Amino acid sequence: MPATLLEVFSLNGCWELSQTCSTDRVPAEVPGTVMSDLIRAGRVEDPYYRDNEARAQWVGAKDWTFSRAFTLTGALRKRQKILLRCEGLDTFATIRLNGQTVGRTDNMFRTWEFEVGGLLETDNTIEIAFDSVLPYMAEKTAERKLAAWNEYRGLYGRAYVRKQPCNFGWDWGPDLISYGIWRDISIVAYDLARLSDLLILQDHRPDGRVALSLRVATESVTTSALSARCELKRKGRSVGSCEFDLPSGHGEGGITVAAPELWWPAGMGEQPLYELTVSLLDANREEIDRTTRRIGLRTLRLERRPDQWGESFHFSANGVPFFAKGANWIPVEAFTSPGDKDRTRRLLEDAAEVHMNMIRVWGGGYYPHDHFFDACDELGLCVWQDFMYACSTYPVWDPAFVENGRLEAIDNVRRIRHHASLALWCGNNEIEQGMNGGQWPESMPWEDYKRFFDGTLGKVVSETDPQRDYWPSSAHTPGENRGNHNDPTRGDAHLWNVWFSHTPFEWYHTCEHRFNSEFGFQSFPELRTVESFTEPRDHNITSPVMEWHQKSPPGNSMIFHQMLDWFRLPVDFETTLRVSQIVQGLAIQYGVEHWRRSMPRGMGTLYWQLNDCWPVTSWASIDGYGRWKALHYMAKRFFSPVIISGVEDRAKGTVEIDLTSDLLHEDGGHVRWQVFTPEGGTLDSGELNVSISPRRNTRLTTLDLSGFLREHGPDRVILFLDLATGAGHTSRSVVLFVRPKKIEWVNPELRASIVRDGDTFAVTIEAQAPALWTWLELTGTDCRFSDNFLHLRPDNPTTVTARPAAPICLADFRSQLRVRSLRDTYVQP
């Protein structure tokens, strides 16, 4: 009988869910989660609404069973090898097929396969029973307690379980423990053999050609000859192919691309992607299995070399060092869901739109789905990928735990490693920081830590993904002395003093770290998002419901501490939400502009955090419903390829002006500076023609404004800096000599004129006096603006493009448009 192609019979779709040992069933969607099925069935009330989270706690304490029936053809059942393949089971699962137990699992991050050939009939039933993880956590904790930062309901045991850490709650996320079949599940059936591994290595030759070596491995049930046929295509056209034998199931071939189109991170060039197809052939050269990978031709490395400041820490693409600009990524849903493809894509597009070129997937969530990496490949967003260990000690003294973690790492490295965007594997989040702080080494000795995070995981990366760099922890300071992290001369740093220690934003200016992979400041989401989880009576920052949606214990007091340092008390609840966003944006802008100015000593900054997993007060720049906070608009300006920034010296009355460029080529530009009074009178102005050096910071000049400050007072001097470059980049910076609350801002009499252009509206705003953080919004419709929270000069009408989320006519747009600025936040209308 001629062999045929490997067959995949999907078991995704409609299942039934019940509590284990109960006959009361509700429909279930697979892939999915217990929590989402119960919500859909009306058994759990929307846990994001008010404090409903408290009433959903029982779900995590119960055992749950998913079941379904399915029918197979006789042809499939006759295949030589038949496997049940589960790509994600969360977490302690027992799998039964036609009443027989086929296996048990204990790691939601692994792919599990079980031989089921002998068990299958024409009509079959499958049951997957998930045990609550809580009894196991309690039992293990009684044996040995794991020191951790995020204590869960008095239990310290979450790190005993290979389950998404933040599913137990985090300082931005709800505690909604859920279980389920969270990734694809299928029956895989084949004859002879199947492809089991494909490693693609790239050699970028000095003559510009790229040689790909393709290492293929198979699993086979035959001793007959096998071979592989590989073809590389670009936009559907073949650019190279090869065929080779697979003696004992393994083999290696090569394709050389003579004129490669190189893949670049966003802002450095294009993201051309090639499609590689590998076919497995039997002795008759019939195709029996096939796999495809979309790849980009590039080198992408972490460069660490001794330099004048210590040791470099920067990424380079195709040999060109670049400054990493980006943010940290958390799961997009509070309970692990596969249905987040569109939201994931939108969030990543929003990251690319504000000139980010790197995303760090933080180690307290899960290894993202393939569509996450596909989008990053297309958008040029490099990925710093943590392994999923965060903020806790782990039982790495236990050989079974270590082996489980090793297999988990191999599964995920193999799944993800071909992606052009993948820049770095990192062992964990902040465990070294915890180890430096107190009792953690008593819970997990350093030797055990190093054996797993340096040794086991490092070895998986060097063997399984040999062209990718590995970094043991974030934050990590390299060197023998692990009693240290956040060293400013080497390694990456997490710089949290402004948030956790009430330190003024100016503290960032004292940080000379090489790469800052976390720092952040919280804000409230906008009113529309708050309304989604509250009743009007909850509309007070310290109401129980607003505090429920603030998971960082010191959170609100931190926001208010800095808000009141900078701004006058906002007039009402809604304005307070907005002012908190301006404070957040300002905090991050202080840090980012400083670190960009410090290049090439500092070569990257990733703020905490890009996104939210539910409606909450948090460090995110995009809220749980995808709405941009002020920070995200501000990021579009402070991450833009060329920026002008000014730093005031209050004692001397001077301003240092810098131009920072990430461009690959020199650009010419024009700088205009103008000193205003709050009423909009001009005290002084000047212009300069400048040349902007590529990939570096240039100190342009120091302006001496001491005379004006003495004559008019520091509360009456407002400096606007404007840059326009030959290549069309613009940047504006405003420098004050006192906190904005000290200035008597006058009514800027903001006027907006609107022109409709299809689905978008061009809004031109004019101000009669300096109007800081001017923001636009529509009262009845979500709307994305090309720019927002901007500083307006009196003599300078500014046009932004508005794209409402739903179609809206000009008259409605006009009546819904609200334009406000700083003064409106504290002056009653």
Annotated catalytic sites, by residue? 430
DSSP-based three-state secondary structure for 630: helix
From 166-174, 408-416, 702-710, 744-752, give the range in contact with ligand BMA by CB under 6 A: 166-174
Cis peptide before 600 (omega within 30 of 0): yes
Sites for ligand BMA among residues 521-540 (CB under 6 A): none
Contacts of 771 (CB under 8 A, 6+ apart): 748, 750, 791, 792, 821, 822, 823
Q: Which amino acid is at 53?
A: E
Sites for ligand BMA among residues 610-669 (CB under 6 A): none
The verdict on 473 binding ligand BMA (CB under 6 A) reads no
Helix (H) or strand (E) holding 530: helix 527-533
From 154-162, 165-173, 706-714, 785-793, give the range in contact with ligand BMA by CB under 6 A: 165-173
- The nearer residue to ligand BMA, 607 or 708, going by C-beta atoms, is 607
From 170-178, 581-589, 696-704, 797-805, give the range in contact with ligand BMA by CB under 6 A: 170-178
- The nearer residue to ligand BMA, 112 or 362, going by C-beta atoms, is 362
Q: Which two tokens stand for residue 643?
A: 């920026």
- The nearer residue to ligand BMA, 31 or 364, going by C-beta atoms, is 364
- The nearer residue to ligand BMA, 174 or 310, going by C-beta atoms, is 174
Q: Measured from the CB of residue 517, what is the shortest distance to ligand BMA in angstroms?
A: 9
# of chain residues touching ligand BMA (CB under 6 A):
11
- The nearer residue to ligand BMA, 493 or 792, going by C-beta atoms, is 493
- The nearer residue to ligand BMA, 522 or 774, going by C-beta atoms, is 522
- The nearer residue to ligand BMA, 209 or 561, going by C-beta atoms, is 561
- The nearer residue to ligand BMA, 617 or 661, going by C-beta atoms, is 617
Distance CA 564, CA 553 (A): 19
User: What is the Cα gyration radius of the chain?
Assistant: 28
The verdict on 172 binding ligand BMA (CB under 6 A) reads yes
Binding mask 668-697 for ligand BMA (x = CB under 6 A): ------------------------------
Helix (H) or strand (E) holding 425: strand 422-426
Q: What is the DSSP letter of 35?
A: H
The verdict on 170 binding ligand BMA (CB under 6 A) reads yes
CA distances from 310 to 313, 426, 478, 518 (A): 10, 21, 11, 21
Q: Measured from the CB of residue 540, what is the shortest distance to ligand BMA in angstroms?
A: 24
Please check whether residue 104 is in contact with residue 94, taking contact to mean a CB–CB distance below 8 angstroms.
yes
Q: Measured from the CB of residue 783, what is the shortest distance to ligand BMA in angstroms?
A: 30
Closest to 471 in 3D by CA, of 303, 319, 310: 303
Q: Measured from the CB of residue 316, what is the shortest distance to ligand BMA in angstroms?
A: 26
Q: Measured from the CB of residue 518, what is the shortest distance to ligand BMA in angstroms?
A: 5
Distance CA 493, CA 20 (A): 46
The verdict on 175 binding ligand BMA (CB under 6 A) reads no
**Near ligand BMA by CB under 6 A: residue from 518, 593, 623, 662:** 518
Q: Measured from the CB of residue 170, what is the shortest distance to ligand BMA in angstroms?
A: 6
Q: Measured from the CB of residue 430, what is the shortest distance to ligand BMA in angstroms?
A: 5
Distance CA 257, CA 212 (A): 8
- The nearer residue to ligand BMA, 271 or 473, going by C-beta atoms, is 473
- The nearer residue to ligand BMA, 465 or 518, going by C-beta atoms, is 518
Sites for ligand BMA among residues 355-414 (CB under 6 A): 362, 364, 390-391
**Near ligand BMA by CB under 6 A: residue from 109, 608, 708, 773:** 608
The verdict on 111 binding ligand BMA (CB under 6 A) reads no
Q: Which two tokens stand for residue 694?
A: 């590529």
From 34-42, 168-176, 670-678, 711-719, give the range in contact with ligand BMA by CB under 6 A: 168-176
Distance CA 589, CA 109 (A): 36
Please check whether residue 265 is in contact with residue 358, taking contact to mean a CB–CB distance below 8 angstroms.
yes
Please check whether residue 336 is in contact with residue 178, taking contact to mean a CB–CB distance below 8 angstroms.
yes
Q: What is the DSSP string of 659-693?
A: EEE--SS-EEEEEEEEEE-TTS-EEEEEEEEEEE-
Q: Measured from the CB of residue 362, what is the shortest distance to ligand BMA in angstroms?
A: 6
Please check whether residue 261 is in contact with residue 297, taking contact to mean a CB–CB distance below 8 angstroms.
yes
The verdict on 430 binding ligand BMA (CB under 6 A) reads yes
Residue with the two structure tokens 């493009």: 801
Helix (H) or strand (E) holding 426: strand 422-426
Please check whether residue 83 is in contact with residue 188, taking contact to mean a CB–CB distance below 8 angstroms.
yes
- The nearer residue to ligand BMA, 195 or 330, going by C-beta atoms, is 330
Q: Measured from the CB of residue 520, what is the shortest distance to ligand BMA in angstroms?
A: 6
- The nearer residue to ligand BMA, 315 or 389, going by C-beta atoms, is 389
Q: Measured from the CB of residue 359, what is the shortest distance to ligand BMA in angstroms?
A: 14
Angle of helix 399-416 versus helix 370-379 axis, rounded to 10 = 40
Helix (H) or strand (E) holding 638: helix 630-638
Sites for ligand BMA among residues 720-749 (CB under 6 A): none
DSSP-based three-state secondary structure for 113: strand
Q: Is the dihedral of CA 362, 365, 370, 372 positive or negative?
A: negative
From 100-108, 140-148, 167-175, 441-449, give the range in contact with ligand BMA by CB under 6 A: 167-175
**Near ligand BMA by CB under 6 A: residue from 171, 289, 593, 777:** 171
Strand 422-426 and strand 469-471: the pairing is parallel
**Near ligand BMA by CB under 6 A: residue from 36, 220, 429, 550:** 429
Q: Measured from the CB of residue 361, what is the shortest distance to ligand BMA in angstroms?
A: 12
Please check whether residue 66 is in contact with residue 22, taking contact to mean a CB–CB distance below 8 angstroms.
no
Distance CA 193, CA 180 (A): 31
Closest to 243 in 3D by CA, of 294, 286, 278: 278
Q: Is the dihedral of CA 557, 558, 563, 566 positive or negative?
A: positive
Binding mask 314-353 for ligand BMA (x = CB under 6 A): ----------------------------------------
Q: What is the 3-state secondary structure (H, E, C) of 756-790?
A: EECCEEEEEEECCCCEEEEEEEECCCCEEECCCCE
Q: Is 687 exposed, middle or buried (0-12, 13-18, 19+ CB in 10 A)?
A: exposed
DSSP-based three-state secondary structure for 129: strand
Q: Measured from the CB of residue 522, what is the shortest distance to ligand BMA in angstroms?
A: 9
From 78-86, 169-177, 562-570, 588-596, give the range in contact with ligand BMA by CB under 6 A: 169-177
Strand 210-220 and strand 193-204: the pairing is antiparallel
Residues that bind ligand BMA (CB under 6 A): 170-172, 362, 364, 390-391, 429-430, 518, 608
